[in-house]
């Protein structure tokens, strides 16, 4: 089992570049709700609150994408060149991007010139499980808001980078941290609210979703993701999540995990927030017989009250660390309001958006071993031979029988977001084909210590590839095409109205494929692995594409034998922005 290390960042201060910035207008809640249909900005994580990561822009297309060239590149600088996973935001000619070690920049889109930089002062002893990453920020009014590795939420002034307010999410010494991009959601009672989750499931924390007022960070409501815990509304206890003791034995629900570490999406049509809850704690499933709700689940939340409207559990009694946090993307399926999610457990799920009703589940990776299938009732049909053995039944009581499980605990898909095109009606899923040797061990909860009860080694299952970008038809579950990549895919996907798909690889390549058949049309080497999602927008008649480059994240830390295959990849920290040469763009 991997040893744990404390990651420490030096204390730094906010720094202004002292240069004039472009004129900035406030970002309204209407701007946010309409982000998917506007092309001159990107004001949400996901290019729209529904998370489709689709842009209707067509200037860059199959005929000219091969001519795409860098407009500028900016270094994130310093010695903090690792794990750059953030999606950038763009408004009024300014690009906002977060970086590793809880940093943020504002950049002039035309020149790549830094307008301001904010470096969060991190204490010693932070406990991030999966590198010092940050996945992005949120824009609202005159603020840009992001979370930090010491479990704080920070609001900065968009123009200056100065701190407006800071709120503590929870105690970092207990294993809490925060890495997701916050979500801005409209509320009739409270105005725009900023919705966040928590990281730290490997430390026995209890997952939850929270909403705060954007003006001052005051808490509006809190919703725990593990049954038996009581939420809050307007500073008072509200409703209990589930029924205490219903699917959890003894007191294990008190340290039950279910971290909401990847954030959420919002659907204006149903007025629901969709959030995924992570693995139950500890990993040793023999200690907690039962479904262990609502770990490994997707839940729909009322933005006014924080109450759960529906829940769907993808891996009941999880024994493989198949977090259920992966993004929930709203789309229309033959007239039905639906959502789709590509689970870490290797199955691609389609659910009813309004009620969470199970519609379908099909494999999107090969050789899945933990379950034989997903039944008509939406529950997995487990293969008992592929659950790691109970340590109590071992001769020495210290190590249960080992199994080889597919996918590995890093998942058929992990944090890297997929995209959906309403034109092709396909999802583009950055998947990985790998498995793991896995066994269970005894474990006791201790605050701030790893709470696993498992040992593991990840291994590839194919000689020629691990990563596989897959075009999935949600109506049939059919894999329409597959683009194979030797190293694991750990960056997100973007698709456009010109039927292009953009994504990055750990080898450093930003690629453009034909969305209909997966044919590669363009590639550019950024010098370090890409583990972030690209964006696109239009300014002054030109279409831009931007992506962060900087290898890191969970794969080199947790990847076992797979980590050895990517050990030669260089770390980095560069923000790359591309466009067509001016004459070519005008001749489109």
Q: Among 144, 134, 152, which Cα is nearest to 107's?
A: 144
pLDDT value of position 78: 74
pLDDT tens digits for range 162-220: 999 999 999 999 999 999 999 999 999 999 999 999 999 889 999 999 999 999 999 99
- In whole angstroms, give the CA distance from residue 387 to residue 372: 12
- In whole angstroms, give the CA distance from residue 258 to residue 315: 12
143-152, 401-410, 442-451: which has the minimum mean pLDDT? 442-451
- Decide: 497 and 564 in contact? Cβ < 8 Å: no
Q: Could you tell me the two tokens for 419?
A: 């995209």
Q: Among 504, 522, 531, 527, which Cα is nearest to 580's?
A: 522
pLDDT tens digits for range 475-487: 999 999 999 999 9
Q: What is the 3 state secondary structure string of 261-275?
A: CCCEEEECCCCEEEE
16, pLDDT greater than 60 = no
- In whole angstroms, give the CA distance from residue 462 to residue 281: 31
79-83, 281-285, 531-535: which has the minimum mean pLDDT? 79-83
- Decide: 300 and 264 in contact? Cβ < 8 Å: no
Q: What is the dihedral of CA 272, 261, 97, 7, to 10 degrees?
A: 170
User: For residue 459, with 0-12 CB atoms within 10 Å meaning exposed, 13-18 middle and 19 or more buried, which class applies?
Assistant: middle
When pLDDT is averaged across residues 558-587 and rounded to a whole number, the result is 85
pLDDT band at 583; cut points 50, 70, 90: confident
Q: Among 88, 196, 106, 96, which Cα is nearest to 147's?
A: 196
Locus of tokens 């080199």: 556
Locus of tokens 């194919």: 462
pLDDT tens digits for range 511-557: 999 999 999 999 999 999 999 999 999 999 999 999 999 999 989 88
Domain ranges of the chain: 15-586
User: For residue 405, with 0-12 CB atoms within 10 Å meaning exposed, 13-18 middle and 19 or more buried, which class applies?
Assistant: buried
Higher pLDDT, 22 or 440: 440
- Decide: 258 and 324 in contact? Cβ < 8 Å: no
4, pLDDT greater than 50 = no
Residue 586 φ then ψ, to 5°: -70, -20
437: Cβ contacts below 8 Å, ≥ 6 apart: 402, 403, 404, 456, 457, 459
pLDDT value of position 396: 86
When pLDDT is averaged across residues 98-116 and rounded to a whole number, the result is 96
Q: Within 10 Å of residue 268's Cβ, how many Cβ atoms? A: 16
Torsion over CA: 386, 390, 391, 394 (sign): negative
pLDDT value of position 327: 98
Torsion over CA: 286, 288, 290, 293 (sign): negative
Element (H, E) at 414: none
Average pLDDT of the chain, as a whole number: 93
pLDDT tens digits for range 125-148: 898 888 999 999 999 999 999 999
- In whole angstroms, give the CA distance from residue 327 to residue 266: 11
- Decide: 192 and 179 in contact? Cβ < 8 Å: no
pLDDT tens digits for range 315-351: 999 999 999 999 999 999 999 999 999 999 999 999 9
When pLDDT is averaged across residues 27-53 and rounded to a whole number, the result is 97
pLDDT value of position 376: 96
Locus of tokens 């493989």: 320
- Decide: 242 and 23 in contact? Cβ < 8 Å: no
Higher pLDDT, 8 or 111: 111
User: For residue 381, with 0-12 CB atoms within 10 Å meaning exposed, 13-18 middle and 19 or more buried, which class applies?
Assistant: exposed
313, pLDDT greater than 50 = yes
- In whole angstroms, give the CA distance from residue 352 to residue 333: 9
pLDDT value of position 128: 86
Q: Could you tell me the two tokens for 126?
A: 């932070």
321 belongs to the catalytic site: yes
pLDDT band at 18; cut points 50, 70, 90: very low
pLDDT band at 23; cut points 50, 70, 90: confident
pLDDT tens digits for range 354-384: 999 999 999 999 999 999 999 999 999 999 9
CATH 2.140.10.10 fits 15-586, yes or no: yes
pLDDT value of position 587: 58
- In whole angstroms, give the CA distance from residue 174 to residue 151: 10
pLDDT band at 584; cut points 50, 70, 90: low
- In whole angstroms, give the CA distance from residue 535 to residue 56: 12
- Decide: 259 and 325 in contact? Cβ < 8 Å: yes
pLDDT tens digits for range 234-266: 999 999 999 999 999 999 999 999 999 999 999
Q: Could you tell me the two tokens for 76?
A: 């994130």
- Decide: 426 and 471 in contact? Cβ < 8 Å: yes
- In whole angstroms, give the CA distance from residue 267 to residue 274: 8
pLDDT value of position 588: 56
DSSP state, residue 560: H
DSSP state, residue 254: G
Please tell me whether residue 253 adopts helix, strand or coil conformation.
helix
User: For residue 296, with 0-12 CB atoms within 10 Å meaning exposed, 13-18 middle and 19 or more buried, which class applies?
Assistant: buried
pLDDT value of position 411: 97
Phi-psi domain of 550 (left: phi exceeds 0; alpha: psi -120 through 50; beta: other): left
- Decide: 223 and 306 in contact? Cβ < 8 Å: yes
Percent of the chain at pLDDT exceeding 70: 95
Please tell me whether residue 304 adopts helix, strand or coil conformation.
coil
Of the CA atoms within 13 Å of residue 443, those in its CB half-sphere come to 28
pLDDT tens digits for range 64-79: 999 999 999 999 987 7
Percent of the chain at pLDDT exceeding 90: 87
Task: Exactly one of 170, 321, 323, 343 is catalytic; name it.
Answer: 321
Q: Among 439, 483, 418, 460, which Cα is nearest to 559's?
A: 460
- In whole angstroms, give the CA distance from residue 274 to residue 296: 13
């Amino acid at each position: 089992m991997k040893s744990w290390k404390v990651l420490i960042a030096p204390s730094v201060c906010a720094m202004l570049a002292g240069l004039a910035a472009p004129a900035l207008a406030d970002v309204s809640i209407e701007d946010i709700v309409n982000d998917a249909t506007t092309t001159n900005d990107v004001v949400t994580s996901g290019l729209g609150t529904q998370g489709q990561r689709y842009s209707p822009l067509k200037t860059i297309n199959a005929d000219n994408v091969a001519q795409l060239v860098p407009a500028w590149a900016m270094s994130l600088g310093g010695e903090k060149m690792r794990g750059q996973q953030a999606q950038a935001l763009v408004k009024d000619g300014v690009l906002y991007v977060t970086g590793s070690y809880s940093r943020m920049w504002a950049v002039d889109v035309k020149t790549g010139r830094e307008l301001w930089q904010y470096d969060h002062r991190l204490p010693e002893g932070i406990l991030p499980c999966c590198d010092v990453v940050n996945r992005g920020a949120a824009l609202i009014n005159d603020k840009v808001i992001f979370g930090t590795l010491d479990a704080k939420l920070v609001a900065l002034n968009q123009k200056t980078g100065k701190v407006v307010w800071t709120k503590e999410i929870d105690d970092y010494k207990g294993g809490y941290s925060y890495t997701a991009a916050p979500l801005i959601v409209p509320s009739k009672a409270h105005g725009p609210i900023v919705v966040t989750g928590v990281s730290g499931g490997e430390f026995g924390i209890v997952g939850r979703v929270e909403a705060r007022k954007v003006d001052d960070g005051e808490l509006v409501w809190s919703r725990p993701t593990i049954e038996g815990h009581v939420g809050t509304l307007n500073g008072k206890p509200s409703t209990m999540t589930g029924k205490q003791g219903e699917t959890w034995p003894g007191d294990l629900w008190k340290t039950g995990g279910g971290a909401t570490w990847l954030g959420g999406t919002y659907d204006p049509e149903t007025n629901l927030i969709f959030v995924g809850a992570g693995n139950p704690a500890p990993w040793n499933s023999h200690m907690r017989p039962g479904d262990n709700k609502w770990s490994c689940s997707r839940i729909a939340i009322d933005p006014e009250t924080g109450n759960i409207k529906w829940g769907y559990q993808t891996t009941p009694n999880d024994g493989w660390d198949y977090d259920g946090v992966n993004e929930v993307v709203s789309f229309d399926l033959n007239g039905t309001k639906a959502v789709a999610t590509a689970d870490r457990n290797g199955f691609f799920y389609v659910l009813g958006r309004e009620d969470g009703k199970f519609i379908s589940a099909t494999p999107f990776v090969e050789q899945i071993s933990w379950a034989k299938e997903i039944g008509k009732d939406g529950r997995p049909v487990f293969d008992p031979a592929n659950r790691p053995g109970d340590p109590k039944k071992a001769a020495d009581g210290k190590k249960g029988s080992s199994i080889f499980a597919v996918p590995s605990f890093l998942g058929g898909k992990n944090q890297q977001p997929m995209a959906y095109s309403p034109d092709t009606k396909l999802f583009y899923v950055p998947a990985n084909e790998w498995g793991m040797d896995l066994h269970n061990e005894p474990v006791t909860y201790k605050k701030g210590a790893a709470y696993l009860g498992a040992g593991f080694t990840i291994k590839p299952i194919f000689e020629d590839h691990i990563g596989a970008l897959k075009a999935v038809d949600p109506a049939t579950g059919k894999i329409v095409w597959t683009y194979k990549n030797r190293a694991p895919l750990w960056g997100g996907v973007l698709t456009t109205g010109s039927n292009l798909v953009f994504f990055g690889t750990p080898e450093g390549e930003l690629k453009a494929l034909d969305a209909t058949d997966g044919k590669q049309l363009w590639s550019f080497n950024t010098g370090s692995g890409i583990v972030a999602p690209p964006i696109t927008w239009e300014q002054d008649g030109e279409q831009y594409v931007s992506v962060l480059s900087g290898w890191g994240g969970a794969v080199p830390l947790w990847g076992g034998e797979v980590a050895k295959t990517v050990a030669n990849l260089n770390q980095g920290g560069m923000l790359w922005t591309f466009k067509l040469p001016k004459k070519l763009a005008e001749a489109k």
